[in-house]
Amino acid sequence: MLGLTQKELADRAGCVQSEISKIEKGRIPKFDLAQRIARALEVEAEYIKWN
Q: What is the pLDDT of residue 11?
A: 98
Asked whether residue 47 carries a pLDDT value surpassing 60, the answer given is yes
Q: Which of 43, 35, 44, 45 is nearest to 14 (CA)?
A: 35
Q: Which of 49, 41, 50, 48 is nearest to 4 (CA)?
A: 41
Mean pLDDT of the chain: 89
Domain coordinates in residue numbering, the chain = 6-50
Quote the DSSP letter at residue 15: S
How many Å apart are CA 12 and CA 40, to the nearest integer?
6
35 phi and psi, to 5 degrees?
A: -65, -40
Q: Please state the pTM of the whole predicted model.
A: 0.83
pLDDT tens-place string over residues 18-36: 999 999 999 988 989 999 9
